[in-house]
Structures are given as C-alpha cells and as structure tokens.
Amino acid sequence: MAPRVAIVGAGFGGLCMAIQLERAGIRSYTVFEKAGDLGGTWRDNSYPGAGCDIPSHLYSYSFEKYASWTRRYPEQPEILGYLEHCADKYDVRRKIRFRTEVRRAVFDGAHWQITTTDGTEAFDVLVMGVGQLNRPRMPDIPGMAEFEGVSFHSARWDHEHDLTGRRVAVIGNGSSAAQLIPRVAERAEHLHVFQRTPNWVIPKPDAAFGPLTRLAFHYVPGLQRAYREWIYRYAEGTLYPALSQGWSVGLLKQRALRHLRDQVPDPALRSKLTPDYPPGCKRVVIDSSFYPALTRPNVSVVTDKIVRVTSKGIETTEGTHEVDTIVYATGFRSTEFLAPMEVVGREGQTLEERWADGAEAYLGISVPGFPNMFMLYGPNTNLGHNSIIFMIECQVNHVMACLPHLGGSGPIEVRPEVMAAWRRQLDAAMDRMVWGAGCQSWYKTASGRVTNNWPGPTTLYRRLTARPPRPAYRAIGPG
C-alpha cells in the first residue's frame, strides 16, 4: 500500500515533493498550507522590487523548463507565476488544503499524528517544506507600539498604503531592503535608510530576454539546459571558492569595491557603505540599483544607533528622524527551524528540546528519534552562492529513495552514530568557511553556531543525498 504522506507547506519545497510523488504515481499525499494560496516565500514577499538574485533558468525545477521568463532575473510575480504553472501542470493543487495550519505532529510509535486547525489525522510519512525564511523577524526596539504612522515588515507589505510623498524609514539593508529601497525612493518625499552594518554588494547583470531569445529557449534543443548548466557552473566555480576562502576571495572583494566606487561618488557615503568584515560572511547583496538609490537627494543613510521609536519617528543617538511610515526590512527568524509547530518524536522529546543548541539534521533532512520525518531546505542546506532549488531537488530525490524502505520492517530513522559523524564532518568543513568569524548574520544562532548554511560544494551535496538510504538509516520495528 502506498504510504500516506503529509507535506507541510506549498512553496518551492512542498510543491516539488508533491510533484515528484505524482510523477511516481503516489497519490496518497496531502499538502497542508496555512495561507490561502501557494508559493511560500514568493507569495509572502510581494514588496516593490521583490525578485531573485539567482537567474531563474537556474532558480527553477530542473524537470520543468520554462521558456516564458522575460528576463534573466525576473521579479516576484513571474516566479510566483512559474510555481502556479507547475502546480497546475502536474495537477497537485487539488491535493493542497489551504488555510490549514499544522500546529503539532506527534510520532505515536507507528504513525505521525498531525494536528491542524481542522483536527488530527494519521500519516505514515511527514515531509516538512516550510523553509528557513518564512517567519518575519520584527526587531525589539523600544516604543515600536507607540508609532502613530503606518509600519509593516517587508514580507508583509501593505499594498494599500501609497508611499507617494511620504517620509519613510527603512530599517535594515539586507537583500530585501536593497531591492525595495530603489522603488520606495522613487515615490517617497524622503527616505531614511537605517543601516546597522554595511553589506558587500556586487552588480546584478540583469537583461531582458527579447522575443527571439525566448523563441530560441523554447525551440532550440538543449539551449535552456546548456544555459542553466553554465549559470550553475559559474556560481559553483567562482562564488563557492570565495566563501570557502579559496582562490576567488580577493576577486569578490575587488568586484564589490569597484562596484561601490563606480556607483557612489561621495567618499563620505562610500566610507559608510564599506564593510569591515570579509565578503560572504553575511549574504552578499547582488544588486545594481541599490547604491544609485542611496545617492539620491531625497535619500539619507543613517548609521547612528537607533535608540527608540517614538510616536512621530525614529530617535537615534544623534537626533530624531520624523517619518510617517516605517518599513521593517529586518529579516526572518531563520534559526528557529519548523517553529512554531510542536514536533514530538519517538521518545517523547520535542525537536525544540533536541535542538536547544541549534538545529541539526543528517543531510539537513533527517533527525534520529524522528522516524519517517524528512525536512526540505532544513538545517545547513542554505547557500550563499547558488540555487536553493537545486538543494531542494536533491532532498526530494533522497526522500523518494527512502520511501521503498518504509515497508515491512516499519518506520525508518537515521542512526544516531551517523548523525554524530555528520555533525563532526560539518564542523570540520565549517572551519574553512567565511561565515564563522567577523560578523553576525541570519546564518547562525546567537551563540555563533552556523545552523543554516551548507559548507561544501553543491556537487558534493548531490552525491551525498544520492547515496542509498541504507546503511545510514535503520528500521525501528514493525509499524
């Protein structure tokens, strides 16, 4: 009998899992989605200028080529449109239960009892597809509740609020802020950008695809695949060595400094925008319109420390900036994997308890004591240089390879000694990477443990996830 599979989340990960089950003829799955529509992060992040800084021919499923991309780096509506296209083409939408939030998942010795807003149901397999960046992080600044204007997080954009002629504050200058600031600056009377730490920024070589190029992508055999492969190899061959402090680290820094010099003529502003930590330690911003926006006469970059939010604006150590709108581009609760769901394993332990020192999972997918549970885009599978969709496909392939092993001898879980060895290998690989020292970032916990990023080449990750599940997994007895 085909296993009953519960998939949590209808974003890139959950949809990929559903599609691969459909393609394998396994229809006994349900996708639980807390929102009223699919798309995950590409549904939630609809701020002006939202887009992907990985070209979409690579930031898409390898099995679903798409000749409709209008440019190399399309914006959010096109990426969401691609996901809708995939859901419809593979007919998985009918299996999504929208507005159904999974609150709790308990392993009862044989099955996962999944409690949603609608009740409790048993499943054989649980696949978590909620990603790392699904819960906005609001900062903890005194006085935020007293602000009398309009305020919202970048991932919860208030499209009803017209920014034309407003005095706007944007707190944060990460990838989201860098994309939305140029658009906000075009409308606002004045924009105050509150920067706590400067980021390294490199250009985004965007280009529109004309009708002929799109026709060629559609009709020339192998062209899309070759283009995808070229983008992949370039990212792997040049950016990964910079993050692992290899041959291209100097090149990345030079490229970013040249970009800054070319786009910001004012030496005082340039100095504010120059980081003092190695490039790649925090996510490198890939954008060509961010710096020019900061040089506009109606934009000021504020680096004074924020003291509090008042009813009328933002007070810093050097004075008050009166504004009527505050955009919190302050990132996500990235290290709290799977929260706020309560997940209870074989021995009554919750994942939260198990992960008290930071989340970890074998291949970023499996946790000892949590049989038949698999994560997509789980701990240590984020990338700073290549497409997460590549990683998700590796993970889904791994889950598909595990499914035939769930039969006679009962649920399977990764062996504790395999997990321990995995952790040692990760720690050793992490020592090479640039993320450890010199900066704070969403890649790591407050204690400094990098729980989010994959420290190796993605080719290695593909090889490791493609290995047969045994002997790393063991059956825990009849289900």
Binding residue (CB under 6 A) for ligand N01 from 19, 96, 102, 171:
171
Nearer to ligand N01, 178 or 402 (CB): 178
- Binding letters toward ligand N01, positions 6-45, x by CB under 6 A: ----------------------------------------
**Which C-beta is closer to ligand N01: that of 111 or that of 228?**
228
Contact assessment for residue 374 and residue 439, using Cβ atoms and an 8 Å cutoff: no
The 151-170 site mask, x for binding ligand N01 (CB under 6 A), equals: ---x----------------
The Cα 178–Cα 287 span in angstroms is 7
Q: Closest Cα to residue 286, out of 386, 194, 162, 355?
A: 386
Beta bridge partners of 412: 475
Q: Which of 450, 473, 465 is nearest to 132 (CA)?
A: 450
Smallest gap, in angstroms, from Cβ of residue 290 to ligand N01? 11
Asked whether position 53 contacts ligand N01 by CB under 6 A, the answer is yes
Least gap, CB of 175 to ligand N01 (angstroms): 4
User: By CB under 6 A, is residue 115 in contact with ligand N01?
Assistant: no
- 404: nearest Cα among 331, 330, 469: 469
Asked whether position 52 contacts ligand N01 by CB under 6 A, the answer is: yes
- Closer residue to ligand N01 in complex, CB, 264/306: 306
Query: Scanning residues 130 to 149, which ones bind ligand N01 (CB under 6 A)?
Result: 133, 139, 141
Q: Determine, following the binding rule CB under 6 A, whether residue 390 of this chain makes contact with ligand N01.
A: no
From the CA atom positions of the chain, what is the Rg in Å? 23
Contacts of 455 (CB under 8 A, 6+ apart): 244, 380, 426, 429, 430, 432, 433
Nearer to ligand N01 among residue 139 and residue 143 (C-beta): 139
Beta strands in 154-233 (DSSP E): 167-171, 190-194, 201-202
Residue selected from 174, 313, 364, 455 as contacting ligand N01 according to rule CB under 6 A: 174
Q: Which of 60, 176, 451, 458 binds ligand N01 (CB under 6 A)?
A: 176
Binder to ligand N01 among 76, 173, 453, 458 (CB under 6 A)? Answer: 173
Q: Which parts of 35-178 are beta strand (E)?
A: 96-97, 102-107, 112-116, 119-123, 125-128, 150-153, 167-171
Which residue stretch of 326-334, 344-352, 354-362, 392-400 sits at the interface with ligand N01 (rule: CB under 6 A)? Answer: 326-334
Strand, helix or coil for residue 102: strand
Strand pairing category for 125-128 and 150-153:
unpaired
What element of type H or E holds 15? helix 12-23
Question: How far, in Å, CA of 449 to CA of 472, rounded?
Answer: 25
Q: How far is the CB of 54 from ligand N01 (least distance, A)?
A: 6
Verify binding: residue 381, ligand N01, rule CB under 6 A.
no
Cβ proximity to ligand N01: between 93 and 135 the closer is 135
Residue 229 sits at φ, ψ, to 5 deg, of: -60, -40
Structure tokens at 288: 């060509």
Among 9, 55, 74, 172, binds ligand N01 (CB under 6 A): 172
Binding-site residue total for ligand N01 (CB under 6 A)?
27
Binding positions for ligand N01, 395-454, rule CB under 6 A: 440, 442
Nearer to ligand N01, 302 or 375 (CB): 302
Torsional class of 91: left (φ above 0), alpha (ψ -120 to 50), beta (otherwise): left
Supply the angle between the helices 12-23 and 76-89 in degrees, to the nearest 10. 20
The interface mask with ligand N01, positions 272-311, x = CB under 6 A, is -----------x----------------------x-----
Among 87, 125, 177, 396, contact with ligand N01 (rule: CB under 6 A): 177
Interface residue list for ligand N01 (CB under 6 A): 51-54, 133, 139, 141, 154, 171-177, 179, 194, 196-197, 283, 306, 329-332, 440, 442
